[in-house]
A = this chain, B = another copy of it.
Amino acid sequence: MRNTRKFSAPEPSMRRLPAYLHVLMRLLKENCLFVSCTFIAQEMHLDPTQVRKDLALTGIVGKPRVGYSVVELIEKIKAFLGWDIQWNAFLVGVGNLGTAILGYRQFRTFGLNIVAAFDKDPRRIGKKVFGVNVFSVEKVSLFAREQKIDIGIITVGEEAAQEVADLLVEGLIKGIWNFAPKALVVPPDVIVENAQLSVSLGVLTSKMKLSEKEGNIFR
């Protein structure tokens, strides 16, 4: 929430792009080489105009009557999302969520390379979690500078989150993926993406409540 810098692309569009990618990967598997905006829109239950706008962000140009090249569209979306390059990351906080993230191999497909993990608990330091070494959090700034780390993943609790963010900023990281329920204060050139599960849960439960209120009877 602290990051109020404006980007040329609207966030709801950014949030839809990974789902487009999913549809396209499936089409590619089915040997489908061209796809229309209308088809994607139907697949995702979206408005075709919206889909056209979203895809235009990636710089792709469709061919009349042929549509988009599936391969090209996949490449353009990946490039837009920054999934065509490797991002080196450190993870701080090897609790349940941190461990789950370390174990989630699919992140590699998105270019996320978790180089090392950090914790303050001596019982965790020196161990390997899913092949990733766990170091003392005291070393995070130094190591991040040395290894030119791009992204810091914060999976510590609320109380320690700002302190960890400060250490990561000291380590010259460019982006923070924040899972702690805490609005972080960082310099304007550091990008924070808040990934608190509670936000997503709130969207679900508020929609469920609104849905009841607005007369969509369930059972």
- Nearest-neighbor residue (CB-CB) of A197 within chain B: B195
- A128 shortest CB reach to chain B, Å: 15
- A194 shortest CB reach to chain B, Å: 8
In the assembled complex, which residues on chain B have CB atoms less than 8 Å from the CB atom of A191?
Answer: 204, 207-208, 211
A182 is contacted by which of B22, B112, B183 (Cβ under 8 Å)? Answer: B22
Interface size on A, residues (CB 8 A): 75
Contact A82 B209 (CB under 8 A): yes
Contact A206 B97 (CB under 8 A): no
- Nearest-neighbor residue (CB-CB) of A43 within chain B: B183
Given known contacts A183-B23, A201-B110, is B1 in contact with A207 (CB within 8 Å)? no
Give residues of chain A (80-139) contacting chain B, Cβ–Cβ below 8 Å: 80-83, 85, 87, 95-97, 99-101, 103-104, 106-107, 110-112
Given known contacts A1-B19, A205-B87, is B14 in contact with A12 (CB within 8 Å)? no
- A52-81 vs B, CB cutoff 8 Å, 1 = contact: the mask equals 000000000000000000000000000011
Contact B177 A204 (CB under 8 A): yes
A45 is contacted by which of B4, B46, B189 (Cβ under 8 Å)? Answer: B4
Residues of A bordering B, CB below 8 Å = 1-5, 7-9, 11-12, 14-19, 22-23, 43-46, 80-83, 85, 87, 95-97, 99-101, 103-104, 106-107, 110-112, 150-151, 172, 174-175, 177, 181-183, 189, 191, 193-211, 214, 216, 218-219
Which has the most chain B C-beta neighbours within 10 Å: A4, A207, A216?
Answer: A207
Contact B205 A81 (CB under 8 A): yes
